[in-house]
Amino acid sequence: MSTEPLIFDLSSPGRVGFSLPEVDMDEAPALDARYLRGELDLPEVSEIDMTRHFTRLSQKNYSIDTGFYPLGSCTMKYNPKVHEDVAIMPGFAHIHPYQPEESVQGALQVQYGLQNMLTQIAGMDAVSLQPAAGAQGEFTGILMIRAYHKARGDHNRDIILVPDSAHGTNPATAAAAGFKMMSLKSGADGNVDLAALEASLSDRVAGIMLTVPSTLGLFEPNILKISELVHKAGGLMYGDGANLNALVGHIRTGDLGFDVMHINLHKTFTTPHGGGGPGSGPVACKAILAEFLPGPVVVKDGDTYTFRQPSQSIGRVKNFWGNFGMHVRAYTYISHLGLRGLKRVSEDAIINANYIRAKLKDVYNLPYDRVCMHEVILSGKNIKAETGCTTMDIAKRIIDYGMHPPTVYFPLIVPEALMIEPTETESKETLDQFIDAMRKIAQEAHDDPELLHSAPHITEVSRLDEVGAAREPNLRWKRAAS
């Protein structure tokens, strides 16, 4: 595969790729020069140039549609094609957010239906679909916790507890919402250290952010105790629902004592990751928080769907009503699978992860030697000690076997972490190929460590100079001075 020129290098002055009507009227006042822009240096290409350029670029990507993509914490499951066909139906793709409600009853019905489905699945009482992604869902939930305490006249609570295993968005969210983030050390078994938790709780604690199952892929056995402690201290329980794929259909986050949570539609409900987005991060909460939700939410009034603003809403976190295109896909998915299908999703996600665990734990270090949920965390520390090959080397070598590496070096508390989330849409045959590759790589690390250090070998580019990229950032093309 050869280097693809930049689109700017394909430009030819005067070439056009658009087909638009001519300007055939002169109704508007001529614009004064002070309003007008100078030169606009966009590329000038024809449709064939553009199609080829982006088609060739697309082929340089690895993707779910081309192979196994076991990125831990990302739930890279298959994105059903039927969702894409539904999302582009004109009645969904070409409606304006401000249309009169009577002209968008179908759209409101989808949102109302999805709110209810998520309420049921989460074991919560209310849902807002507004947040654009998981991190924005967290932000929303934490602001709701703040608003809740404020509304009760409880103005002292300025701390959010976050386990040290948490995803980066959790501490970043606490800070963005204006809280002090207090980190909570995990126990040796990967669980929350109850003693440390008790020591941290006080009337300054607004709440705790917990991921269920945790980012270690483990179900917290003391979860009911934890929520009891937190609630007793006057705090609220925030659930990071990024890992809902482990629970869906069998276990409801709400039943575990959580007061508010977000759900990543782009994970559990398989809206495509899109190379980094868009996502959708609806927030679900118990009744005590329902009136703080960002608005509007959709309610049903007789046979009519209508928007309603929660009475003590924290306000908007985003324009309009959320990432509706993702709502449509998630609604389609849940309607397709039903409860039985969703149960199967979480079961197979768990079986697949445990199968990998069982088949690799003799070769890779298993930091938490217990049953896992939908993902398994391994560590390359034994291999590093024995061979000098790092987890990064292992990851790059996986590429040579035609697969995408797992998430690496996260969670931070596991040295040389390999975080493997196969998802339920992968077959045993695919897992066996992965297991086989991982075992061979462990052997190669011993036999020929250089093979790993220099990996990947089959890609268009070899390892890239990231340090140089950050030291002297080249973030845009510039026309060479002529």
Partner 1 sequence: MVYTPNTEAQRQEMLAAIGVGSINDLYNDVPAAVIDPQIDLPAPLSEPELMAHMRQLAERNSDALHYANFLGAGSYNHYSPSAVYRIMSRSEFYTAYTPYQPELSQGTLQQIYEFQTLICELTGMDVANASMYDAGSALGEAAVMACSITKRNKVWVSPRLHPEHKAVLKTFTNGHGIEFIEHDAHFSESEQLPADVACVIIQLPNFIGEIRDFTGLAERVHEAGAILIEVYDPISLGLLKSPGELDVDIAIGEGQGLGIPMSFGGPYCGLFATKEKYVRQMPGRLAGMTKDKDGKRGFVLTLQTREQHIRREKATSNICTNEALMAVAATAYLTCMGPQGLKRVAELSYQNTHFLSNRIAKLPGYKILSREPFFKEFAVQTPIAPSELNRRLLAHGIIGGLDISGFPEVDGAPNAWLLCCTELTTKEQMTKLVSVLAEA
Ligand X SMILES: Cc1ncc(COP(=O)(O)O)c(C=O)c1O
Residues lying near ligand X in the complex (CB under 6 A)? 73-74, 133-135, 167, 169, 211, 215, 240, 242, 264, 279, 281
d(CA 213, CA 370): 14
- Return the residues of window 102-141 that contact partner 1 according to CB under 8 A: 102-107, 109-110, 113, 117, 120-121, 123, 132-136, 138-139
Residue position matching structure tokens 């276990």: 251
Pick the closer one to partner 1 by CB: 97 or 388. Answer: 97
Is 415 a binder of partner 1 (CB under 8 A)? Answer: no
Interface stretch with partner 1, choices 96-104, 195-203, 382-390, 440-448 (CB under 8 A): 96-104
19 binds its own copies (CB under 8 A): yes
In whole angstroms, the minimum distance from the beta carbon of 226 to partner 1 comes to 12
Contacting range for its own copies; rule: CB under 8 A; set: 62-70, 97-105, 412-420, 438-446:
62-70
Written as six digits, the tokens of 366 are: 């298993």
Residues in the chain: 482
CA 184 centroid distance within chain:
23
Residue in 8, 62, 78, 355 binding its own copies, rule: CB under 8 A: 78
* Two structure tokens written together for 79: 């994105």
Which span (74-82, 168-176, 281-289, 384-392) binds its own copies, by CB under 8 A? 74-82
Report the distance separating Cα 326 and Cα 87, nearest Å: 8
Q: Contact region for partner 1 (CB under 8 A) — 19-27, 196-204, 378-386, 443-451?
A: 19-27
The residue type found at 378 is L
Q: How far is CA 75 from the centre of its chain?
A: 8
336 binds its own copies (CB under 8 A): yes
Q: CA angle at residue 266 from 97 to 422, to 5 degrees?
A: 170
Q: Which of 427, 432, 447, 457 binds its own copies (CB under 8 A)?
A: 427
236-241 vs 260-263, strand pairing mode: parallel
- Alpha carbons 170 and 136: distance in angstroms, whole number: 10
Question: Whose CA is closest to 299, among 96, 124, 108?
Answer: 108
- Min dist CB 409 to ligand X, Å, is 14
Give residue for tokens 């709780």: 201
* Separation CA 130–CA 295 (nearest Å): 7
Which of 315, 415, 448, 450 forms a contact with partner 1 (CB under 8 A)?
315
- Binding string, residues 226-265; x marks residues near partner 1 by CB under 8 A: -----------------------xxxx--xx-------x-
- The rounded distance, in Å, linking the Cα atoms of 148 and 153 is 9
Residue 446 to residue 452: CA distance in whole angstroms: 10
Provide CB contacts within 8 A for 153, sequence distance 6+. none
Pick one of 301, 429, 465, 472: the residue that binds its own copies (CB under 8 A). Answer: 429
The half-sphere exposure of 95 on its side-chain side, counting CA atoms within 13 A, is 22
Of residues 80-119, those binding its own copies (CB under 8 A): 80-81
Pick the stretch among 15-23, 233-241, 380-388, 443-451 that binds partner 1 (CB under 8 A): 15-23
Strands 236-241, 205-211: parallel, antiparallel or unpaired by DSSP? parallel
The item of its own copies, partner 1, ligand X, none sharing an interface with residue 187, based on CB under 5 to 8 Å by kind, is none
Number of residues in contact with its own copies, rule: CB under 8 A? 27
Shortest Cβ distance from residue 199 to partner 1 (Å)?
A: 20
Q: Does 314 bind partner 1 (CB under 8 A)?
A: yes
When CB distances are held under 5 to 8 angstroms depending on the partner's kind, the choice from its own copies, partner 1, ligand X, none that residue 283 binds is none
Residue 12, token pair as written in the block: 């030819």
Residue 405 CB partners (closer than 8 Å, separation 6+): 394, 395, 396, 398, 399
Tokens of 356: 């990998």
Task: Pick one of partner 1, ligand X, its own copies, none as the site partner of residue 436 (Cβ within 5 to 8 A by kind).
Answer: none
User: Which runs of consecutive H residues, i.e. helices, occur in 275-427?
Assistant: 287-290, 324-360, 381-387, 391-400
3, 153, 302, 311: which one binds partner 1 (CB under 8 A): 3
Residue placing its CB nearer to partner 1 in the complex, 53 or 286: 53
Which of partner 1, ligand X, its own copies, none has residue 433 at its interface (CB below 5 to 8 Å by kind)? none
Q: What is the DSSP letter of 35?
A: G
Q: Which residues bind its own copies (CB under 8 A)?
A: 2, 10, 12, 15, 19, 46-49, 51-52, 55-56, 59, 64-67, 78, 80-81, 336, 402, 425-427, 429
